Amino acid sequence: MSNTERRRYVRPESLNLLDYIVVDEHGVRGEYSMGRTLNISIGGILMETRSRFPAGQQVMITIGLEDELVDVMGRVVHTSGHHDKTFHNGIEFFHASVEDRRIINRYVEAFHKRFPEAGRENKEAMSFLEQT
C-alpha cells in the first residue's frame, strides 16, 4: 500500500519554514533546529531536515503558514534519506491548540480553493481538528 493510500487527508505540496525541538520520552527538550515543510495536511506534514529521526520520535514544531505561526506536537511516522543529504520526515500531529488547528484547516482549505484539481480524497470528519 502506498503512502497516499494510507493517508486520511490530502496533503498539498507546500514549502513553509519551520523550527523544531526534539522531545524525549520524559518530555525533556533536546536538539533545536530548522527545516521546511514539503507538504501539509490537517493531520501532519512531510518535514525536510538535516537530521534523521527514528519512528516514534516526538517533536515540537512551529510552522510559518503565510503570516501566521502555529505550534504543534507531532511524532515521526517514517523517515527517508535523500541524495542532497537531507531527510524527509513524515510527522503525524497529536496535539495543537484549537486556534492553531483552525489556522491549519484554513490554510489547507485555501489551498483546495486555489487548486481544486488536487481534490479531496477523503471527506471523513477531521478528527484532529475536532479535538479540544
Q: What does the pLDDT look like over 1-19, one tens digit per residue?
A: 444 445 455 455 567 899 9
CA 132 to mean position of chain CA atoms? 19
8 A C-beta contact, residue 58 and residue 23: yes
Beta-sheet pairing, 87-96 with 44-49:
antiparallel
Domains of the chain: residue spans and CATH: 3-130 (2.40.10.220)
Look-up of cell digits 522531545:
23
pLDDT tens per residue, range 19-39: 999 999 899 999 999 999 998
Buried b (16+ CB within 10 A) or exposed e, 88-108: bbbbebeebeeebbebbeebb
Instruction: Give the C-alpha separation, 48 to 66, whole Å.
Output: 18
Q: How far apart are the first and last CA of the chain?
A: 32
Angle among Cα 78, 79, 82 to the nearest 5 degrees reads: 150
Can you give the pTM of this predicted structure?
0.78
8 A C-beta contact, residue 47 and residue 76: no
Assign 118 a pLDDT band (cuts: 50, 70, 90).
low
